[in-house]
Structure 1
Amino acid sequence: MKTTMKAALLSLTSVLAASPVFAASQRSDHSGLLVWLFLGFCALIVVAQLVPAVMLMLGIVKGVASSKSEASEKA
């Protein structure tokens, strides 16, 4: 009888301790699939704009580095 009572008390305690977890499992922002698709599309646009910008910066750095090396070779 003691083990049954102990098991019941333990299960009741674990359920009461985990009740905030069950309450927090629901989302409060109510954002659906279309919202997440829209945000993903926005992120895709940002990444697509970053690729040419990075390539342009690398070209500028490469041009500056090559002009400095050419200037040092001529002198």
Structure 2
Amino acid sequence: MKAIANALIVTIASASSALAASGAAADEGGFLAPLFLAFGAAIIAFQAIPAVMLLGSMVKGFFSKKAEAGANAR
């Protein structure tokens, strides 16, 4: 049991330095990464406009006077 624990500790200790030196963050993604983020922001912005209009209509309908129930009943 002790040998398995020691082997596991040695494996984890040696793997941490190998993972730290990968250098994966050196590349910024080029031109397409900001273009993709701008496209996503535009989609969110264009969907926020109708959402705000719908919210305004809901609040307006909630606080407006209600129609009489007898006028619409047949």
Q: Give the structure with the higher percent helix.
A: 1
Question: Normalising by structure 1, what TM-score?
Answer: 0.49
